[in-house]
Amino acid sequence: MLAKSTQFARLLAFFIVIVTVFGCNPTRQTSKKGLKYFERGEYEWAIQALKPLADQQLAGDKSAYYVAESYRLSNRIGLALPYYQKAQTQGVEDVLINYHIALAAKSLGDYPQCKAALTKFLQSKPNRFYQIRAEIELENLDKIPTLVQKQSPVALFPLMGNTPKTEFAAQKIGNELLFTSSSKPLIYKNNGLPFLGLYSAPLLKENEITTPHLFSTQLYKENANDGTPAFSHDGTTVVFARGNTGKSKDPSPDVDLYISKKNGNDWSEPERLAISDSIAWDGSPSFSYDDRTLYFSSNRRGGKGGLDLYRVPIDNSGRFGRPINLGSIINTPGDEIFPFVSENGKLYFSSDGHPSIGGLDLYVASRNDNEISIEHLGIPMNSIGDDFAINLSDPLSGYISSNRPGGKGDDDIYFFKSSGAEEHWWSNDSTNTTTNQVLKTVNYALAVQVVQPDGKAIPGVQVSTRRNGETSEVFTSDKLGKIDALSLNSGDEIQFKLEKDGYISARSSFSLEGREIPQALLKKELTDTTFTFKIVMDQPEIGKEISQFYQLNSIYYDLDKADIRQDATIELDKIVNFLQDNPQVNLELGAHTDARATAAYNQKLSQRRAESAVKYIIQRGIAKDRIKPKGYGESQLINECSDGVDCPEEMHQQNRRTEFKIIQINQE
């Protein structure tokens, strides 16, 4: 969805919300209503409903956390900071909270707080995807003092015509300024602003416009976000991005590229470009100066991380070829967006993955023989905010967009003019120079099938996915038990939750970490690799050990102790999830010891261990009548290490375990 410019530059991420059961008093009803807004992605509505409660900081209330998430997911992360901090002091648990605090602090120019939060986040041992992002951010922080000292010989002027709404992605066409603006009559519930559309206004001077008007009725859709058009230099073709309505039941793609041809004084009905990926975000298109290449940004599979820049060759008949990733010199694990290629062949773009002062910063990539240099455009082109969507009217002047402090609206347009003599007005020294090497690309995919323990496919299973901690998509398995193939990016971890009546709800996960093919082993420039991943679901049965069908490891204890070890909490948390997902099932937690010490002592020790595990689970909200602790002592050893047998410690530890089996199935 094109929520706003930089929101438009990122995937919307919808989090699975574990909702506390609320009563019927007005305060709780407001909380419930706010959470429903959040779940539907109506973040501005959620903020309005939950912010009064968040400001009260009521004990046990998570409103502050959801306000913070709503600000972040509607691209107002600076406003999220105090609410993340409130949520943290209230004990809200989210493995990513320090990561979000870091980025929020950076967006406000508080680099020490950003560094402290990133350090704390990395100490929590996050998954590989976010570990890479955090390490890069931490490394880039050390480069900020150099970046802020770089001054480009540029004068920057806010556009006289900016409003409290959103205006961005401006380009001069004749004597008019064309731009994207949140000026449609309907409200986009993600951010509380009107839907985005294409507008134009006569230029009084380079940084001043008169009253804007709709650019084209043919390129207008009332209940969708339209923006960031790219025009061929002969003026006969336009490619732009269009998002869906923002409604959860809208089946259309999130953001795709559309093409339209000049038709008299207007444009033809837009058609979706075939290069768009139906399961990816595709946006911010731009033609090369010779109109032989289209550049755009996408998070399609096989990329380097978040949003990557791609190029597509265009033949003499106007047909588009196959999208090609620009490679890891340009693209990073972060986001690269809003490409623009100048007359001299230099590639301008915005990124939050290269060293930046704030969020998105502006860069230029130049090729010199065998080398590509990437240069930060310095100050005043960049700020602690998001700076993006550069468009050169000529080699010395043009427009950028920014949400920097001091602006009029969400995003504003700025006109810039150089005092230099030619396009290298931005050139002082390079912030990053890398040898141009041809890196081979792998398109990773995951084929998921849901089966019974005997391998028989299970159709009609609802499969919810979370990618790297954030809600992704929901599927229903077909008659072969399969769902649509999932694209994978480097470091991805996908968690699955499976539900179907008559079956035990299941959870599982798949990580790409450790499975990626090294560059040295790749033979082709592009390789397609699909992993097959089977998830087992079973029907509830008295006496069945749940590890037979639920991704679970046994819990182990130190010698002669009943304390819950740190590694055991991971498995106990899975049991909490299992019991929450399957309210019809009661479990026995059976604790076992090794054969050392007497049988009577071991019986008592195992009972203490079982009760210790039960206590942990009850403290996390599970009713105590759903869990029965039972100590088995040394009566059920799983190896030959019985009394008097000399065994290594590792084999004794195998016997010191807790197992989980179904003892009761209740009517739902």
Instruction: Give the tens place of pLDDT for each residue, 540-549.
Output: 889 888 877 7
Range 614-653 burial, b when 16+ CB lie within 10 A, else e:
bebbeeeebeeebbebbbbbbeebeeebeeeeebeeeebb
Q: Which tokens is 81 given?
A: 């900071």
Looking at residue 60, its amino acid is G
Distances (CA, A) of 56 to 46, 61, 86, 234, 550: 16, 9, 10, 59, 41
Question: 546-665: which CATH architecture?
Answer: 2-Layer Sandwich (3.30)
Q: Which CATH superfamily is domain 441-536 in?
A: Immunoglobulins (2.60.40.10)
More confident residue, 511 or 420: 511
Question: How far is Cα 258 from Cα 255, in angstroms, rounded to an integer?
Answer: 10
Question: 5-148: which CATH architecture?
Answer: Alpha Horseshoe (1.25)
Residue 296 · residue 282 · CB < 8 Å: yes
Class of domain 149-435: mainly beta
Question: How far is Cα 440 from Cα 517, in angstroms, rounded to an integer?
Answer: 10
Q: 484: how many CB neighbours lie within 10 A of its CB?
A: 15
What is residue 520's predicted lDDT score, i.e. its pLDDT?
66
What is residue 493's predicted lDDT score, i.e. its pLDDT?
86
More confident residue, 440 or 569: 569
What is residue 340's predicted lDDT score, i.e. its pLDDT?
96
What is residue 423's predicted lDDT score, i.e. its pLDDT?
60
For residue range 172-230, list pLDDT tens digits in order.
999 999 999 999 999 888 778 899 999 999 999 999 999 999 999 999 999 999 999 99
pLDDT at position 399 over 90: yes
Distances (CA, A) of 279 to 11, 406, 485: 12, 37, 10
Greatest pairwise CA separation for the chain in angstroms: 96
What is residue 22's predicted lDDT score, i.e. its pLDDT?
34
pLDDT at position 1 over 60: no
Residue 504 class from Cβ within 10 Å (0-12 exposed, 13-18 middle, 19+ buried)? buried
Residue 462 · residue 476 · CB < 8 Å: yes
More confident residue, 125 or 295: 295
Q: Which tokens is 572 given?
A: 């106990």
Q: Which residues pair with residue 417 across a beta bridge? A: 155, 397
pLDDT at position 6 over 80: no
Crossing angle between the packed helical segments 97-107 and 77-89, to the nearest 10 degrees: 140
Residue 78 · residue 108 · CB < 8 Å: yes
Question: What is the model's pTM?
Answer: 0.63
Residue 509 · residue 486 · CB < 8 Å: no
What is residue 650's predicted lDDT score, i.e. its pLDDT?
78
What is residue 213's predicted lDDT score, i.e. its pLDDT?
96
Looking at residue 467, its amino acid is R
What is residue 427's predicted lDDT score, i.e. its pLDDT?
57
Looking at residue 332, its amino acid is T
What is residue 33's predicted lDDT score, i.e. its pLDDT?
87
Q: Which tokens is 474 given?
A: 């929901």
Q: Which residues pair with residue 66 across a beta bridge? A: none
pLDDT at position 438 over 70: no
What is residue 37's predicted lDDT score, i.e. its pLDDT?
87
Q: How many Cα atoms occupy the beta-carbon half-sphere of 131 within 13 Å? A: 12
More confident residue, 480 or 245: 480
For residue range 239-293, list pLDDT tens digits in order.
999 986 554 434 444 789 999 999 888 899 999 998 998 778 999 999 998 898 9
DSSP state of 406: T
Q: Which of 303, 595, 618, 639 is nearest to 439 (CA)?
A: 303
What is residue 244's predicted lDDT score, i.e. its pLDDT?
65
Question: How far is Cα 180 from Cα 509, in angstroms, rounded to an integer?
Answer: 40
Residue 176 · residue 442 · CB < 8 Å: no
Q: Which tokens is 355 given?
A: 């060293």
Distances (CA, A) of 611 to 104, 544, 569: 42, 21, 14
Torsion of CA 567, 571, 572, 578, to 10 degrees: 170
For residue range 501-532, list pLDDT tens digits in order.
989 898 899 988 778 887 667 777 778 899 99
Question: How far is Cα 484 from Cα 446, in angstroms, rounded to an integer?
Answer: 9
Which sequence spans correspond to the domains of the chain? Answer: 5-148, 149-435, 441-536, 546-665
String of DSSP letters for 504-530: --EEEEEE-TTTSPPGGG--SSEEEEE
For residue range 482-502, list pLDDT tens digits in order.
999 898 877 788 999 999 998
Answer positive or negative: Cα dihedral of 134, 372, 512, 1.
positive
pLDDT at position 590 over 80: yes
Q: Which tokens is 67 given?
A: 């306000």
Crossing angle between the packed helical segments 63-73 and 43-56, to the nearest 10 degrees: 150
| Averaged pLDDT of the chain | 85
Which of left, alpha, beta for 298 (phi over 0: left; psi -120 to 50: alpha)? beta
Crossing angle between the packed helical segments 26-39 and 63-73, to the nearest 10 degrees: 30
pLDDT at position 645 over 70: yes
Instruction: Return the beta strands (E) in 81-192 as ranges.
Output: 154-158, 167-173, 176-181, 187-188
Across 243-257, 362-376, 590-604, least confident range: 243-257
Q: Which residues pair with residue 282 across a beta bridge? A: 298
pLDDT at position 38 over 60: yes
List helix spans (H) across 333-487: none
pLDDT at position 166 over 80: yes
Q: Which tokens is 428 given?
A: 């002082």
Question: How far is Cα 520 from Cα 437, in angstroms, rounded to an integer?
Answer: 13
Helix, strand, coil percentages (3-state) for the chain, rounded to 5, are 25, 30, 45
For residue range 50-61, list pLDDT tens digits in order.
999 888 877 778
Mean pLDDT to the nearest integer, 232-244? 91
Question: How far is Cα 553 from Cα 535, in angstroms, rounded to an integer?
Answer: 16
Instruction: Return the beta strands (E) in 305-461 as ranges.
Output: 308-313, 324-325, 336-341, 347-351, 361-368, 371-376, 387-394, 397-402, 412-418, 432-435, 441-451
pLDDT at position 419 over 70: yes
Mean pLDDT to the nearest integer, 456-478? 89
